[in-house]
Each structure stands twice: as C-alpha cells, then as structure tokens.
Amino acid sequence: MTGAPRLRARLSWFLALSLAAVLALAGMALTFALAQVTETFVVTRMEHDRDTLIASLSAPDTLEQALPRVYRQPYSGHYFQVERNDGEVIRSRSLWDTRLALPSLEAGEQWRSEQAGPQGQPLLVLASGVRAGDAVTIVGVAEDMTELRTTLARVYIALAVLGILTLGALLWLQRRILQGLFAPLMRLQVDTERLIHGELEKLSTQGVPEEVVPLVEAIDRLLGVLSHRLSRSRRALGDLAHSLKTPLTALGTLEGEPELRDSPSLVGRHRAQLERIQRLVDAQLRRARLAGGSAPGRGMALARGVDDLLDTLGRIYRDKQIVVERDVPTDIRVAGDREDVLELLGIVLDNAFKWATSRVAITVGTGETVRIRIEDDGPGVSPAQAGLLTRRGLRLDESAPGSGLGLAIVSDIVEQYEGRLDIVPKGRLGGLAVTVSLPAHSRTILDEDQSSSSSSRRSPRSSK
C-alpha cells in the first residue's frame, strides 16, 4: 500500500538535513573565521615590519638591519621594497633580482593586493605612501602565503572529517532518540495487531505518550461498542430462532385443518416450506449452542474449543454413536476472534457428524500456519461437486437437513483471516476431508489449557 512516508522516516530525514545544514553553515563560518584571523595576524605583522621600515628611511643603509634576518635570506618568503621619488629602488636581499610591482601612491595612501612572487608563489603585498621631505616614498612589504594556505587547507580537511564524524554521531544519537520516542507507538502497533487477531481484549495506555492516550482510549471505546453490538446481534439471532419455534409448531398443526386436508398439493407445499424454515431455525440454534457466550474478539485455546464443540455435537448426534479420533496439541492458541473460530469449526464438525457413518477425525498441525483437518467416513462427494460446496445456498442433497450456507460461511471466515480452505472429496476415512489453514501468530500455554486433553492423543468419543 502506497501513501505518505512514515512519520519516523520523515522526522529522521528532516532532522538529518537540519543537522547537515547546521554543521555545513558552522563549518563555513569557522573556515571563514580562521581565514580572517590568520590573514589579520599576517597583515598585523607585515604592518609592523612596514612601520619599522618607515621609521628607518632616514638611514637607508640600515634598512635590512632594522628588520628580522629572514629578509636577508634569498627567496625566504619575506620581502620589502622601497621606491624613492627620484627613481631609486631599495629591495631586500630575499627578493634577489626580482622586483615587486608597487603602484604610485600619495602620501598617507594605503594599498593591499596579491601578486606572484619571485618563484611564482602567491604574495600578499602591503604598500604605503610616505612623505619624506618634499617627495613621496613608497614602502612595500610582502609575504609568501603558500605555507599558510597549505596549513589552512589541512585544517579545513580536518574540520571536514571532524564534521562528518560529528554528523554521523549526531545521526546515530538522533536515531536512538527517535527509537526511544517511537517505541511506545511501535508497541501500540504490535498490540493493535494482537487485538485484530483476538489476542488482546483492549489496548493498554501504559507507557503510551500523553498525546496519543486519547486516540487509544477512543479506539478502546469503539471496540467496546462494536463488541457489544456483535454480541447483541448474535443473541438477537438466537432469540429470533427460539421465538420462531412456537409459531412454526402452530403452523405445523394447521395440516390437520379440514380446509388443508381437502387439498393434498397445498398440504405438501405447506409442509415443504415449514420444513425448510425449521431447518434454518435449527441451524441457527445449533450455531448459537456451539458459539457459547464468550466475549467477541478474544483468541481461543484450540484444544479447549475443540473439546467443547465435540461434547456439544456428541449430545446433538447421540443416536449415531460417532467415534472421534482427536489429535490436537494443547499448546496451540488460535489468534483470531473466538466466535469466528468456533463458528468455523462448528460448521465443519457439524457437517462431519451429520454425514459420518461412525467415525470423525480432527487433526491439528502447526508450522507457518495452523492447519486443522476434519474428515469423516461418510459418502463424500465427487471431484466436480467439491468445487461447488462453498457456493452460498447450494445444497447437493435436498433430502438432508441444512441451509446450504455452512461451507460458504467457513470460506468467508477463512478469507477474512487470510487463510486457506482445501476440500478433498475422499479423505483418509473415505468421506469428505476439509483442511482449514489459519495464520499462526503465537503459541502460548495458558493456565486454562492445562485442563484440556493431553497433546497428540487419539481417544474415541461416543455420544452418551
């Protein structure tokens, strides 16, 4: 199912992009600040050397001695140049035979620029116009920026690596925080799935964020209303079937009336319709007895449910003396609505008891699904008829009691739980074999199951 991205994914992406943007801006600001600080430091030092040169202009022969020794080493990266108004140029020995390109400046004018040095390296050049007598002397100092910029590049790389590591650590921390924040919601999702499959009666608000509690309480209220309506509908259906018994009995006595005795064909049609209505009423009453009175929406301990159904059907079909072969592990709990599972099993077992000659077998196995196989030693059906059994209202034998809805209802329930229904025309016992596969969700041994029959046993049951 496609739709909007998950909330956690959206938050993760938003926070990750925000962190990346903040770190990127912080990195840019830091690199700019470092560049400005280092350049300001270099410029301050160069201005100091320039002012020292200006102070020594009155003694040109002592200019180099006034500055550090580095200005006297060829191509040292520290240079100065003094240009007098009469065309005389005094250069530091470090320039060797290279000349700085200084502009013409007025007295008091400052100039700052970059140009290529003696060996092509980038130089930062500062120059000032100084009045010496009636003439203007231009004093310039320069410094090689190669080493400084190389060092800054290394610092930038280190900062980038540190920023990436910091971003990774923050993203990991963010993920852990989001997992912690969403953990209650994930538990709520799991509980909702368990609720859907009947393993829980209601959602718990324990550990749920305060903002989500009203939603959970609203869902619980809705489930309560739906459960009440479902129970009331089932009771109403059973009550309706009971209430129809008396009118049907009264209608049956009308066959003795003189008006009907004189019309045999009318009596036959009247009796056929009464029998049909009677079969429907009996089927609903039998389903009501099989379903019992438990609360809808709860899971069911399969062994206990099967035992209850077999006891009920044994009483209903006591005259047939059916022997039951039962192989149902006690630790299997079907995750689904108890009423649905009981109705499903009740319909299939009722059909087996109805058509069986003397034996019915029920076997339960587990794996990826819970597989329930029910078969009898009755006449079975043909392969062509097997595909028609789930058609609603279709009865293959009109002489036998029934409504033709049983296996159609079973098919609907199985489809609701995304299970599978397989019908074999002739099973191991010779009659019809029905296998129902339902999703397996959990296997728990409950206290109430301890009184169930022992696992994987075969015991004959006969009606009393």
pLDDT per position as a tens digit, 411-456: 888 887 788 888 888 888 889 999 998 876 543 333 333 333 333 3
Give the residue ranges of the chain where pLDDT is below 70: 1-5, 58, 60-62, 64, 197-199, 234, 237-239, 241-243, 245-248, 250-273, 276, 278-300, 335-336, 392-405, 440-464
Cα 166 from Cα 23, distance rounded (Å)? 9
SS3 category, 343: helix
Q: Which domains does the chain have, with CATH numbers?
A: 7-149 (3.30.450), 202-295 (1.10.287), 299-395+403-464 (3.30.565.10)
Cα 329 from Cα 308, distance rounded (Å)? 15
Question: Which residues, at least 6 apart from 26, have a Cβ–Cβ distance to it below 8 Å?
Answer: 163
Instruction: Please report the pLDDT score of residue 363 as a whole number.
Output: 92
Cα 371 from Cα 438, distance rounded (Å)? 7
Instruction: Please report the pLDDT score of residue 374 as a whole number.
Output: 93
Whole-model pTM: value is: 0.47
* pLDDT tens column, 315-344: 888 888 889 999 988 888 776 677 778 888
Instruction: Please report the pLDDT score of residue 293 as a whole number.
Output: 46
Cα 120 from Cα 399, distance rounded (Å)? 112
Instruction: Please report the pLDDT score of residue 200 as a whole number.
Output: 73
Question: Which residues, at least 6 apart from 10, have a Cβ–Cβ distance to it below 8 Å?
Answer: 4
Burial class (CB in 10 A: 0-12, 13-18, 19+), 213: exposed
Count of alpha carbons within 13 angstroms of residue 219, beta-carbon side: 15
Residue owning tokens 């489930």 = 223
Q: Which residues pair with 78 in a beta bridge?
A: 143
Instruction: Please report the pLDDT score of residue 461 as a whole number.
Output: 40
Closest CA to 438 of 331, 320, 344, 321: 344
Instruction: Please report the pLDDT score of residue 394 as a whole number.
Output: 56
Question: Which residues, at least 6 apart from 409, have a Cβ–Cβ distance to it below 8 Å?
Answer: 343, 344, 347
Instruction: Please report the pLDDT score of residue 440 as a whole number.
Output: 66
Sheet of 420-424, strands arranged across: 323-327, 359-366, 369-376, 433-439, 420-424
Amino acid type, 96 = W
CB–CB of 337/198 below 8 Å? yes
